[in-house]
Structure 1
């Protein structure tokens, strides 16, 4: 591990590295849209929290995309969606002080779609908002997207009593559920045979893109996801700004770019049950097979409250990670375990390099300002011959009022 804690007077090399930000920002293309508006009310939606507006929302998106794109308006009110919303190319889903509550009936997120779950490819429930092979897509405006997960719905599938699990309930711990998926990853079973979904209790994420580019999320609040909140995969040119994420369920990561390139995260607030931001690139054999790192990621002017870590790399990091820039963030909560965290192991492998952190104000974190764990999940089954490499970690101007350790 190569760690560099920069002094207050020797900033030349450190500052030179930060100049890469301008090059990254120049490559991130914010999507633009035709000056056409379609209102979901015209497609049969109702601002009624008991009426299923899913079909109307989807029809508006499909129609807008088919005709060259534009803005799909969700006017002020409370809406209900019994199933996934599928984003399509050249469409901006725009909320005007609107709230969408999503169903907690797992059947509403079938049929299964191609996805990644904890860094492994499979077919499983669709994310609540999903896009695959699309470009120029956005969710903007003001409003709340609520997954409505609770200790009665979705979260008990984790298999832990603090999230509503009771002995005898089905969960992801069942031998044909998560353990089966892990075995399929070890054996590299064909992805087409990794069929899960109904009866396997692997929770969907809230928002997921697969192989998409030019993505914008701006101004939206996300609440109570079944699992991870925002999960772009194999996607590039991503902007997440002015977003608030609130959820204290199991694995409620805030934003997990996985095998993504050119990502800007700014002016966001995270208050989560797991990592606030966790950068990933695939788990174990799948991560090595796909072999796409996460790279060129900027996190700035964000606020992290509760969570396992403020900005985290891993643990599904087998494809590697490089060129991460974190600056001008505030992290403060007795329930925030670490500010900066790197987690991996000798099953994951991968190279983590060129991580730059500066101007971080920490009120309180529980464990450490920087935590590097190369023995994460020591009981995980798998071949332990893939030595991870962590190098060139730069920290400067980190001010912490309270933490058990500085570096651990």
Structure 2
């Protein structure tokens, strides 16, 4: 691991964590695109984690920099005080880092880092924010508060039109600076088609965070409901909780025991490579109960040539649009998920064939080359904006202009 103490770079990227889930994996492809174009990239992280090794292997420099991250915990007094403490520490550390790095562009990855937007604007540096979240169910006040820092950004990149529409409900003028760049999602060199006959237990798969909003308990209850119709199946959960949410994992395990599914639900924990699990599955479940900015796992199911049962909501509609093998169900409706499973099993030859075709549509939409090109051009355009020209000469001197070619490798999330 290389942790820098002051390396000049063309782009500084601020990121809220160091794990390897959806937005983290998209970040890796952003870094690959920029580094491959000849751009020096520094990534500011608040903590160490598995993401660090992946970033350094792609040529990024890492700076550890405390920063406040917006979480639901700030709604509690202790969480609010912790956020304020982190904001004070993060402000001083962020200013020092900006002075050392002198970036041509500040790239803020997710809306959970409002302090970085403020610091970038105060330093008169062009700011790009990459939005992965959408919270339409939140109150109007909360949504406006979350979106307000985006008014200070030069460019808003989003992984879906849904995200942009939600943001523009709060501030319509954001639309003129917003653009959709589809998530880059890689696939294995050779796809293993779904088995031709469903002999034995039906193999169900969930990939992602184990969290309440992701509807993992809905998947467990759907398995129970499906088995109650006389069919056999088992569910594989690939993912882990967010630190501090151990209570949800305990509740989930208790639900599995209560439903008598201890031998039918398998907890595999976080797995960097999910493709072997996809290859062994029959049907992929994406049962989110709250909004999703997009829905990488729905696309991963299509890339793996597997039918997907997906919640009919928010960015998941956009992620699964056009896939003939996707069956949409109301969010949180375990009975509907079980019914969808029965529907797919009853017409398995049709859904298997449709899934085999859907993989090519998914590849076309989410190829790495298109993402690399879009992100590279977006950053280059921001670096030439009027805000860059207005920056102090000392901050603008001594940097080569980023090049125009890209490089990256596959990500999944």
TM-score (norm 1): 0.24
TM-score (norm 2): 0.23
- Select the structure that is richer in strand: 1
- Select the structure that is richer in helix: 2
- Of structures 1 and 2, the one with the larger relative CO (CA 8 A, separation 6+) is 2
